[in-house]
Amino acid sequence: MTTFERESIEFQPVTVTLDGQPVNTAILALAIVPHGSRPTTFTAPTIINGKPGVMIQGLTPGVHKIWAKVTSNPETPILACGYITIT
């Protein structure tokens, strides 16, 4: 689990694969929520050096979970991608 200081503004890459292949960022959305919560809003990933991810900024101290949503016809999987800790 990666730990960030609450004052940090930092890119956290997120790798999402389906059937062993990287997901096209055009159909990918991400969310960060406090541990134990479920995401209600997903946003387009931040892309840095061709890698999708999230910007860690303005989160309250504690454990947070990163989620991915892949919009694909006819399925829309929601995937748990891991945890980060804010101190």
Q: Which residue has the higher pLDDT, 73 or 6?
A: 6
What contacts 20, CB < 8 A, 6 or more positions away?
Answer: none
Q: Where are the domains of the chain?
A: 2-86
45, pLDDT greater than 80: yes
| pLDDT grade for 18, boundaries at 50, 70 and 90 | confident
Percentage of the residues of the chain whose pLDDT score is greater than 90: 86
pLDDT at 9 > cutoff 90: yes
Distance CA 5, CA 81 (A): 20
Pick one of 1.20.1050, 2.60.40, 3.40.50, 1.25.40 as the CATH number of 2-86.
2.60.40
**Which run of H or of E encompasses 34?**
strand 28-34
Predicted TM-score (pTM) of this structure: 0.91
> Over 90: is that where the pLDDT of 27 sits?
yes
